[in-house]
Amino acid sequence: MPRARSLPILTVLAFALSLPVPPRGIAEPPVAFTLVEEHRSYQVRPGESLADIAFRLGIPWRLIAELNGLTDPAHITTGQILRLPGQRIVPAALEDGLVINLPDRTLYHFARGLLIATYPVGIGKPDWPTPLGEFRITAKVKSPTWFVPKSIQEEMEAEQRVVKAQLEPGPDNPLGEYWLQLSLRGYGIHGTIAPGSVGWFSTHGCIRLRAEDIESLYAATPAAARVLIIYEPIKLAAAPDGRVFLEAHPDAYGVTGDGFGRLGELLAAQPVPLRLDYAKVQGVLWAADGFPRLVGSVNESGTPR
């Protein structure tokens, strides 16, 4: 196979910007992202499989297996230390508060400009999407009662389930033990009694966390905290040394269509020109596996060549 040739920035920009502009409904202009690099590892807990760990961390299991030389991914042991990828592309949108990027199904918690925690989340189904925008936490409720919306009652009836107007706190309450009310009536961030639904497009629009994660988030999130919900399936960021990483996720809501269109907007929003390898860019966009990959570098001259 011939070696892929790196294309000059002008070629990449011209190609990307010539494609259709994504429809309205995503951030305009694009949300800025930053690259976080750190040494990361994970200690296997009792009963965990590699698939469990990959799901918890939002990392493809094949990548974890490759990094750790696992010839048999089914064979890991309790207490084993696994090396994890060192790069993460995170939104640089808030100094303090919560940012939820729907395509990567991740909640990012910031405090004083630092990323202090990330959590996988379950979000709205494509036919019942989570709303975008900036909100506030207006109430924090422990052991919430679920007042079932009329629309969900109608869904229960259509599916021939027992229709309920409300559910008291307890093991059958789908909100779990904690509720963070958003400044949008009927929507909140909450726990769940169905942990397998976290990490998927699985809700009626609310943001759902695993029990242990919502407990931690509830304790760490002040009332009136800002919450920014964004839709960015394509994430681009440069390291301090000039390396450029690209990450792509499926466009589950059908908002952006061809990823090259959004990439063109991301490139146009960069403060300095970038030199990208088109073959690598194309591979990332086609894979859409949520893993950041090296695709080029900052053009050191500051001008296209």
Greatest alpha-carbon pair distance for the chain in Å reads 66
- C-alpha torsion sign, points 295, 300, 303, 305: negative
Query: Is 249 assigned a catalytic role?
Result: no
Query: Is 190 assigned a catalytic role?
Result: yes
Structure tokens at 52: 């469990």
Structure tokens at 272: 């300095």
Cβ atoms of 33 and 89 closer than 8 Å: yes
* Active-site residue, selected from the candidate residues 109, 190, 204, 249: 190
CA dihedral of 114, 187, 192, 113, whole degrees rounded to 10: 0
Beta strands 178-182; 188-190: pairing state? antiparallel
Q: Is 236 helix (H, G, I), strand (E, B) or coil?
A: strand
| Strand ranges for the chain from DSSP E | 33-37, 40-43, 81-84, 87-91, 97-101, 106-111, 114-120, 123-124, 133-142, 146-147, 166-167, 178-182, 188-190, 201-203, 207-208, 226-230, 234-238, 243-248, 274-276, 293-298
* Active-site residue, selected from the candidate residues 39, 75, 109, 206: 206
CB-based contacts of 150, cutoff 8 Å, min separation 6 = none
The runs of H, that is alpha helices, within 121-258 are 150-158, 211-220
- The C-alpha atoms of residue 268 and residue 278 are separated, in whole angstroms, by 16
Structure tokens at 44: 């296997």
* DSSP letter (8 states) at residue 196: G
Query: What is the radius of gyration, based on Cα positions, of the chain?
Result: 21
Tell me which residues are annotated as active site: 190, 206
